[in-house]
Amino acid sequence: MNDPVENNVEWYRKLVDAYKNLLTSEEKAQLHEWEKEHLGSGNIATSDWPGWEKHIGLPPWRVGSS
């Protein structure tokens, strides 16, 4: 896929699928704790949680920027 918008949409599909089917109970708890600590400032989203990389890789907008 070369369409940046479609790449982002596909990554978010994978995020939802990973949450529903791949994350362990422990990982879900870690995500929820991370959200409590980091969300609300307006510049961080659930998609920024570092644990996603293990299951679905970096988001397309971060690939090549590290």
Tens digit of each residue's pLDDT (9 = 90 or more) over 33-58? 999 999 987 889 999 999 999 999 99
Where residue 65 falls among pLDDT bands split at 50, 70, 90? Answer: low
| pLDDT value at residue 42 | 81
**40 vs 58: CA distance, rounded Å:** 22
Task: Evaluate whether residue 52 is within a structural domain.
Answer: yes
Task: Evaluate whether residue 30 is within a structural domain.
Answer: yes
Task: Evaluate whether residue 4 is within a structural domain.
Answer: no
Number of domains in the chain: 1
Task: Evaluate whether residue 49 is within a structural domain.
Answer: yes
Task: Evaluate whether residue 25 is within a structural domain.
Answer: yes
Question: In which domain, by residue range, is 34 found?
Answer: 10-56
Task: Evaluate whether residue 18 is within a structural domain.
Answer: yes
**2 vs 12: CA distance, rounded Å:** 16
